[in-house]
């Protein structure tokens, strides 16, 4: 897809992978709607607009889509489901509210946003949904059961969705990054971002590559890992 003039929605646009993806899309000529609870600080661009949206709330998602289409036009070509969070803890001491918060954001938010844009993408017979999962969605991690379970769910959702919509010209790509230098680790004990990790721009670069693939094929799922994580 040539991204020039296309309309893209990025959730969780304020920091990390979300912000890097917004900047990469703008550099490729797209008009970008950033959805999130907090606007990206200092990001001003004639083709960027921020719409306050809590992806856990399906009504808020519907309103954000209405506002996006009013401001940027009816067509929606790209959705990047990036909003997410991780909370660590042993299962037998884990708070129910924290468990629900991860699933409401990571899983239900991905579902609400995808469901919202699909009717327009089907009318267009073209579109691309990028779901950000995690290496934690491919293997269990001690004291991260809730986060792993939510990201396994994102992968299962993505694999099912791509089979549903491929005949409508809609691509679905699930990206599972390994350790990346973001604020994700602020609430994860024992891990701090470091230069051996991937950068948000690394992930954004792959997202752009995936979006720009020719119409006749798409990348269904990919893992991304640091080359020398222990260095």
Burial of 228 (0-12, 13-18, 19+ CB in 10 A): exposed
Helices (H), 76-144: 96-102, 109-124
Query: Catalytic positions, please?
Result: 147
pLDDT in tens, 12-63: 999 999 999 999 999 999 999 999 999 999 999 999 999 999 999 999 999 9
- How high is the pLDDT of residue 43? 94
pLDDT in tens, 179-219: 887 665 555 556 676 777 899 999 999 999 999 999 999 99
SS3 label, residue 25: helix
CA 155 – CA 174 distance, rounded (Å): 7
Average pLDDT over residues 133-155: 97
Kindly give, in sequence order, each residue whose CB lies less than 8 Å from that of residue 31, ignoring residues fewer than 6 positions away. Answer: 5, 6, 7, 8, 47, 48, 72, 73
Q: What rounded mean pLDDT belongs to the chain?
A: 94
Share of the chain above pLDDT 90, in %: 89
Which of 121-125, 132-136, 164-168, 177-181 is predicted least confidently? Answer: 177-181
Asked whether the predicted pLDDT for residue 169 surpasses 70, the reply is yes
Q: Which class is 7-224 in CATH?
A: alpha beta
Tokens representing 110 are: 């991905």
Tell me the whole-structure pTM to 2 decimals: 0.94
8 Å CB contact between 57 and 109: no
Share of the chain above pLDDT 70, in %: 94
Task: Report DSSP state, residue 4.
Answer: T
- How high is the pLDDT of residue 197? 86
């Amino acid at each position: 897809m040539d991204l020039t003039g296309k309309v893209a929605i990025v959730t969780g646009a304020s920091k990390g992978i979300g912000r890097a993806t917004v900047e990469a899309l703008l550099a490729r000529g797209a008009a970008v709607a950033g959805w999130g609870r907090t606007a990206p600080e200092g990001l001003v661009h004639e083709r960027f607009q921020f719409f306050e949206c809590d992806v856990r709330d399906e009504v808020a998602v519907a309103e954000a889509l209405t506002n996006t289409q009013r401001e940027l036009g009816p067509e929606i070509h790209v959705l990047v489901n990036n909003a997410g969070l991780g909370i660590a803890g042993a299962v037998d001491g884990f708070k129910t509210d924290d468990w629900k918060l991860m699933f409401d954001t990571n899983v239900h938010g991905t579902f609400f946003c995808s469901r919202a844009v699909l009717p327009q993408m089907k009318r267009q017979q073209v579109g691309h949904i990028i779901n950000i999962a995690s290496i934690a969605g491919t293997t269990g991690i001690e004291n991260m059961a809730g986060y792993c379970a939510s990201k396994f769910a994102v992968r299962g959702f993505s694999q099912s969705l791509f089979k549903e919509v491929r005949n409508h010209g809609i691509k679905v790509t699930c990206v599972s990054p390994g350790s990346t230098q973001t604020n994700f680790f602020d609430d994860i004990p024992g891990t701090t971002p470091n230069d051996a990790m991937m950068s948000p721009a690394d992930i954004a670069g792959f997202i752009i590559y995936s979006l720009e693939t020719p119409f006749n094929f798409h990348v269904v799922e990919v893992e991304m890992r640091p080359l020398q994580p222990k260095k």
